[in-house]
Amino acid sequence: MGTLKKEPQENEPDLSPQHLSILKEILRQFAPGHLVWAYGSRVKGTAKKSSDLDLVAFGLDSRNISQLKEAFEESDLPFRVDLMDWGSIPESFRENIRERYVVVQDGGGGSASLARHG
């Protein structure tokens, strides 16, 4: 996974409380015990209302990824969720994600207090 920054600031992705709740519930249901980060415009503060939400999950198999994608598509979230598996991302892109991300679910299956890195 590489080196993670040590002292994150508390923060959240640019989502309404209702949308954040939907997101976290889907992750609890379809990816329990897996670390999930948000990155991209909704973390950087440059999102528009229609911007997608970029997520990266750690340790999920292709079946779980497919189930999660389907759950997001069928949810009441009014934006697209772009979900990637950390293991399939090139190292150069991993470096970009590591620069600024928010933990939306910790690896223990619960939702961590959301922490911004970067």
CATH architecture of the domain covering 9-117: 2-Layer Sandwich (3.30)
52 tagged catalytic: yes
Domain map of the chain by residue range? 9-117
Least confident of 46-50, 76-80, 86-90: 46-50
CA nearest 23: which of 34, 38, 11? 38
Helical pair 17-30 and 62-74, crossing angle rounded to 10 deg: 150
Q: What is the pTM of this model?
A: 0.82
Catalytic residue among 14, 52, 85, 106: 52
Catalytic residue among 14, 54, 85, 106: 54
106 tagged catalytic: no
Query: Which residues, including other chains, have CB under 8 Å from residue 61's CB and lie 6 or more apart?
Result: none
Q: What is the pLDDT of residue 11?
A: 67
pLDDT tier at 12, thresholds 50, 70, 90: confident
